Structure 1
Amino acid sequence: MNWGNKIVVGLGAFMLFIVGSGIYMVTKDSDSLIDENYYEKSLAYDTIYEHKQNVLEDNAKPIIRVTKDSLHILFVGEGNTGTLTLKRPSDGKLDKSIPFKSEGSEFDYATTDLTKGNWIVEIYWKRGNKDYWYSQPVFIQ
């Protein structure tokens, strides 16, 4: 086989690899970064924006600490009721939503059942007659 035939075979093999990769990516498309109910959430964006503004206006940003086996959330005030949502950016199937009620200003959640890695903590809570929403990325060890 001369060098001309080797070039043609090499280009053919490369083209088959590219076409095969393209077909594989199209058939295995699993975009876990898109929310299931993105349309409904976009309609409620003004409400979420108001909740974020309440955090800024009232200086109510919670302090989130991650230790070896738990997630500690320290709120500014007492008597908080809401939902803690843990989102895994790499796999939406691992997302969790936990309702909570804290008598004091602190809430703890055990992280022993969570996969190690990056998570996004979203907190929606109500204190008194005001609603708040806060989000922060964390790393679970």
Structure 2
Amino acid sequence: MKTNWATGIVIAIISFISFILYMVITMITNQQYDHDLVTEKYYQQELTYQQNIDAKKNYESLDEKINILNTENGLKIAFPKSFTPEKIKGKVFLYRPSNKKLDFEIPISITKPYLLVPEKNLLGGRWNIEISFTYQNTPYLTIKEINY
């Protein structure tokens, strides 16, 4: 069978359209390419942006910083020794960039100078940890990336 140039152009166009459709369908249906927003309450968080900046400045002005350690029992978050543990109130939010279903939040209510995040809640890999707390009516905020 002899083909002319018009048939070649039609075959090339159909091949190109098929390739594009294949890529679009793959990107839509494959969970590997599922990218969500960091937070669903984006605009509500924007309203507290200046408060977060002030809380970060308060944290940076501390002489002793929070220490995060990987232990066999989980993730140990040690607060400054100069703080009375019972007066520390707030939350620890762990965000997994690769899977939002693994995100969780732990309230800070401690009697020892540290908080232990159980190992059963953590999978190996990269985590973003946001520690937001108040001590003597002063807000503090720190955000770090860790590998567990």
TM-score (norm 2): 0.78
1:33-66 C-alpha deviation (Å, 9 max, x unpaired):
3310000100110011111010012235311112
- State, as a whole percentage, how many aligned pairs show the same letter: 29
* CA RMSD between the two structures: 2.7
Task: Select 1:131's aligned residue among 136, 139, 142.
Answer: 139
* Counterpart for residue 109 of structure 2: 101
Name the CA distance, whole Å, in 1 between partners of 2:8 and 2:109.
Answer: 70
Name the CA distance, whole Å, in 2 between partners of 1:61 and 1:32.
Answer: 32
Bigger strand share: 1
The alpha carbon displacement at 1:137 in A equals 0.9
* Counterpart for residue 99 of structure 2: 91
Structure 1 gaps, min length 5? none
Of structures 1 and 2, the larger Rg is shown by 2
* Counterpart for residue 62 of structure 1: 66
Name the CA distance, whole Å, in 2 between partners of 1:33 and 1:59.
Answer: 35
Task: Select 1:37's aligned residue among 41, 55, 60.
Answer: 41
Letter in 2 for 1:15: I
